[in-house]
Structure 1
């Protein structure tokens, strides 16, 4: 059984989620036969860099696409039917060379690459090199690659992918067309998860999909992996609705309700109630560090809403109930209160991993925050 992010990896540009500007630029270049010899894709993990690199490799070598030049609308899309497309989809294309720079980072590997570049493609029009984690290359290896990028053969295309643009040598990046990949917003991830759920014939509450999307932190790959885990775990309940509570239990995710209830104790300045509540949720086996991160994120949301109440109109982030709750709670804090409380809990979050009693930093932060709120009033 194939994992979801591989099973549903986009096979055409129209299936790519987000990154609209990048897709438009690349498809225009393909249509106009103006593909560059080198690209640098950079941005957070799981945002589609390698997927788009493979799509580009597939499109430039697609025989079916080259035969459809009269159909302008389809001109850049790979046909997924010719031998070249099928071989790339199945991961056995000879002229698509994927290199993991994390384990092939030395100068010898880049010298071998330089020697191989000069050999014409075996079957395809272009020999495409996808170098993943390109920031892991040593300085010597990067300089060896630079020589190839300076004088590339006409049949070679290089696509460098990295999560750390700042570690790429400026001399290397300057010889590439650079594209910055952005994290996906929650609406885009939820829509993609709905499509996959329907294809897998499973019913997941929209609130549950929203929880997965938030946990993924803008990474579509992480979101699909989390959904995969949920579907596998609930496979015995085929046909039943997978609820938000089920997902929280399966993935060990801290729901907003838990955090929101804790914030209510801060609002009421209820020191005893807050500490008892923390003790209860920790005794249930909820990860302290995870709860602390969710709390910091929730307090940040309160601060953003305090500064800009229109934030809900810009992005689908919360359910209606969660939205109303946030609006109600933010009125109970001043902007300065929220900033100080966030700093206090962030400091506690950093201390948790080093503490022999992981709950202690969070308990002290709770006491300090309530004291500060009481003093300010």
Structure 2
């Protein structure tokens, strides 16, 4: 973090102004948050440097950190605004989306513009509501493609080293419970899709879901790692 902050104050041929956007700032380590405190003090702020911090867990941030920012709280957009956004993108991209699929997208998007846009990209070539619903259920998991990658590795009986590396990378940026619930949501979406075979996948899916469900609670990280190893061994056995 220190190197990133220092780079903001170095001259650049590209632009006089620089912006640092920190998404999900609550997930920064205590050390990283501490390193930001001094640059964010009023006397150290520069006119041509802007800090933007985004979070969905405002209460998880220490007061001394929050007090250094202007606070702008956003709320989901309504159905009309959601439809206007979708129609605007469709017009610019010359896309045709059935009304029923737009309605489904608005329902699944829950007023979150990012989810609407990523969902639109996933269903642009889709013709049936069922396939669109399956794709949007996956999309609704906070657009976590990396959790989907972990799910695919488990489903495809990948080596434990491959699964372990993917899980290790995920744990650097996400809470164990976020990963666990994400896997459960992807699994339930697959069960409800046309691509699910109850003959080939039924027992494994029930087993996988139950293991993940029962792995909640302290210590979250250890429980998640143990659960995924357990599932991986079962899938291969």
For residue 270 of structure 1, what is the aligned residue in structure 2?
Answer: none
For residue 180 of structure 1, what is the aligned residue in structure 2?
Answer: 73
For residue 252 of structure 1, what is the aligned residue in structure 2?
Answer: 134
Are the equivalent residues in 2 in contact too, given 1:117–1:153 (CA < 8 A)?
A: no
- What are structure 2's unaligned runs of at least 5 residues? 137-190, 194-208, 212-237
For residue 214 of structure 2, what is the aligned residue in structure 1?
Answer: none
Q: Which has the higher contact order (CA 8 A, sep 6+)?
A: 1
Distance change >3 Å, CA 153–CA 211, structure 1 → 2: same
For residue 49 of structure 2, what is the aligned residue in structure 1?
Answer: 156
Are the equivalent residues in 2 in contact too, given 1:186–1:213 (CA < 8 A)?
A: yes
CA positional deviation for 1:180: 0.9
Give the distance between the partners of 1:197 and 1:127, measured in 2 at CA. 32
How many residue pairs match? The answer is 143
Corresponding residue SS for 1:130: strand
Are the equivalent residues in 2 in contact too, given 1:247–1:253 (CA < 8 A)?
A: no
CA positional deviation for 1:228: 2.0
Please give the residue correspondences for 1:217-232 in structure 2 after superposition, counting only pairs within 5 Å.
Answer: 217-232=110-125
Please give the residue correspondences for 1:31-70 in structure 2 after superposition, counting only pairs within 5 Å.
Answer: none
Q: Which one of the candidate residues 274, 280, 286 is aligned to 2:192?
A: 286
Corresponding residue SS for 1:179: coil
CA positional deviation for 1:120: 3.5
CA positional deviation for 1:217: 1.7
CA positional deviation for 1:212: 0.9
Q: Which one of the candidate residues 131, 134, 139 is aligned to 2:22?
A: 131
Give the distance between the partners of 1:115 and 1:203, measured in 2 at CA. 47
For residue 198 of structure 1, what is the aligned residue in structure 2?
Answer: 91
What do the CA deviations read for 1:211-249 (whole angstroms, capped 9, x no partner)?
111011222222222222222245xxxxxxxxxxx2233
For residue 38 of structure 2, what is the aligned residue in structure 1?
Answer: 147
For residue 354 of structure 1, what is the aligned residue in structure 2?
Answer: 210
What do the CA deviations read for 1:102-144 (whole angstroms, capped 9, x no partner)?
xxxxxxxx22134334324444232221122211111121111
CA positional deviation for 1:147: 0.5
Structure with bigger gyration radius: 1
CA positional deviation for 1:177: 0.8
Distance change >3 Å, CA 189–CA 247, structure 1 → 2: same
Distance change >3 Å, CA 210–CA 162, structure 1 → 2: same
Are the equivalent residues in 1 in contact too, given 2:123–2:135 (CA < 8 A)?
A: no
What do the CA deviations read for 1:300-322 (whole angstroms, capped 9, x no partner)?
xxxxxxxxxxxxxxxxxxxxxxx
Give the distance between the partners of 1:179 and 1:213, measured in 2 at CA. 24
Give the distance between the partners of 2:33 and 2:116, measured in 1 at CA. 33
Give the distance between the partners of 1:200 and 1:154, measured in 2 at CA. 37
What do the CA deviations read for 1:330-353 (whole angstroms, capped 9, x no partner)?
xxxxxxxxxxxxxxxxxxxxxxx5
Give the distance between the partners of 2:4 and 2:34, measured in 1 at CA. 13
- What are structure 1's unaligned runs of at least 5 residues? 1-109, 235-245, 255-284, 288-352, 356-377
For residue 214 of structure 1, what is the aligned residue in structure 2?
Answer: 107
Give the distance between the partners of 1:137 and 1:252, measured in 2 at CA. 32
Corresponding residue SS for 2:51: strand
